[in-house]
Chain A
């Protein structure tokens, strides 16, 4: 979320703080991967609206992000859940410590990079509705 804000040219520390709930599969509980959640929230940051009637474009792009990430993780992990992808229970201090510097962490970093390569261009104004 920090980088997405930097990409958009405006950083609000409140958004970065709010996003600290996402890693580890929502509150470290191993649910939906924080990279996917961050990607979806990033699209919302640019295209979301307080008006339900103005969310069509946002919804379309969020579907694209979700489907992209699901396809990205489907073959290797078969899931979009953090615990299955990382192989780590982040509520367990020992597992969390072992994750740092592990190959699993490197895999997550690659997922992050691949997701950003897809999501950041969606934030460009040149991305016209299809």
Chain B
């Protein structure tokens, strides 16, 4: 049985109110849109 070591190095981090990932890409719009799709019943 293999052992999986969690690697959270790709985790994003907050920069003020903006959610950025390691490459500096802003995730905020994507996450807000995903939540809107979710609330609207859209995949």
Contact = CB atoms under 8 A, between A and B. Distances in A.
A112 B38 contact: yes
Interface in B2-42: 4, 6-12, 19, 21-23, 25, 27, 30-31, 33-35, 37-39, 42
Contact of B10 (A109, A112, A127): A127
Given A117-B27, A124-B21, A124-B22, A2 B43 contact: yes
A23 B43 CA distance: 8
A121 B23 contact: yes
A82 interface: no
A63 B10 CA distance: 14
Given A105-B39, A118-B12, A124-B21, A113 B4 contact: no
Contacts of A68: 6, 8
Given A20-B43, A63-B4, A118-B10, A109 B38 contact: yes
The dominant DSSP class at the B interface is loop
Interface string A107-125: 0110011001110111010
Given A67-B4, A120-B21, A16 B39 contact: no
Interface residues of A, number: 31
A6 B19 CA distance: 17
B38 A6 contact: no
Interface of A: 1-3, 6-7, 16, 19-20, 22-23, 38, 63-64, 67-68, 71, 105, 108-109, 112-113, 116-118, 120-122, 124, 126-127, 130
